[in-house]
Amino acid sequence: MSFLPSSTRVFLCLALTDMHKSIDKLVAPAKEVIGSDPLGENLQVFRNRAEDRFKVLFWDRSGFAITTSA
């Protein structure tokens, strides 16, 4: 069972990201650094300096959502 459309792409932002940033502060780098349309069906992934935490930003048709990993 697939939860993501087959056309979904994952963009990894190689620039280090402050994990305290909110959705609003992640949308700009998604456009500028990654070059991805944050309103599309793509996933934008951000990492911290230690590379042990990630944030995934995505649009779910009702608004932005963020999921984090530890």
Mean pLDDT of the chain: 80
pLDDT at residue 2 is higher than 70: no
Count of C-beta atoms within a 10 Å radius of residue 65: 11
In a domain? residue 1: no
pLDDT at residue 16 is higher than 70: yes
d(CA 19, CA 3): 26
In a domain? residue 45: yes
In a domain? residue 52: yes
d(CA 18, CA 62): 25
Provide the pLDDT confidence category of residue 1 given band limits of 50, 70 and 90. very low
In a domain? residue 54: yes
Provide the pLDDT confidence category of residue 8 given band limits of 50, 70 and 90. confident
In a domain? residue 16: yes
In a domain? residue 4: no
Name 47's bridge partners.
16, 54
Q: How many domains does the chain have?
A: 1
State which residues form the domain around 44: 10-69
What's the pTM value of the predicted model, to 2 decimals?
0.76
